[in-house]
Amino acid sequence: MAGRARGLGRVPGSGRQKGTPNKKTQAQALALVQASAADGVKISDAVLARLDPVSVMLHCMRAALKVGNTSVALQSAQAAAPYVHAKLANVSIETRLQTSLLDFNDQQLHLISTGQMAVPQSILDALADGDASASRTDDEGG
């Protein structure tokens, strides 16, 4: 069996080269050229080479709107929307309220004792009031 043995990984230089336009990118560039030609705008090859797909989609949308082609404008707008107007992700934050020194682990207590971590004001207030739940006692194995 010819070729590379399994498990040796990817061959350097193999696969699709970075920056190679795919069919969709080429179609968008062609649509840009056609829309610009219909609008009477001439775009140089140097400018076309630097355009990214989102710029192409937005230019197509604007050019199509200028000439009254709303279906092309709508398609371009729908294609560009996810890149221009990103969706907000649902984020959940899980927190645990630390209301006494008993809620801290040993590493956090060490950081507090060395001054690298601040003690929440609510715990300092409880200690000042003499609240027994705010600090460890010798019977608790502290």
Return the pLDDT at 142. 46
Please check whether residue 58 lies inside any domain of the structure. Answer: yes
- Domain coverage including residue 51: 23-84
DSSP string, 112-131: HHTTSSPPPHHHHHHHHHT-
* 62-119 pLDDT, tens digit each: 888 888 888 888 888 888 888 888 777 788 887 777 777 788 888 888 888 898 888 8
The average confidence (pLDDT) of the chain is 75
Please check whether residue 42 lies inside any domain of the structure. Answer: yes
Return the pLDDT at 12. 80
The pLDDT-based confidence of 36 (bands split at 50, 70, 90) is low
Residue with tokens 């990214």: 52
Please check whether residue 2 lies inside any domain of the structure. Answer: no
Return the pLDDT at 54. 84
Look at 10-24, 37-51, 59-73, 125-139 and tell me which has the smallest mean pLDDT. Answer: 125-139
- CA separation (Å) from 20 to 26, 37, 44, 79, 91? 10, 25, 19, 20, 35
* Domain final residue pick, 58, 84, 110: 84
* Domain final residue pick, 56, 84, 112: 84
Structural domains in the chain (count): 2
Please check whether residue 45 lies inside any domain of the structure. Answer: yes
120 and 69, same domain (yes or no):
no
Structure token digits, residue 44: 């140089």
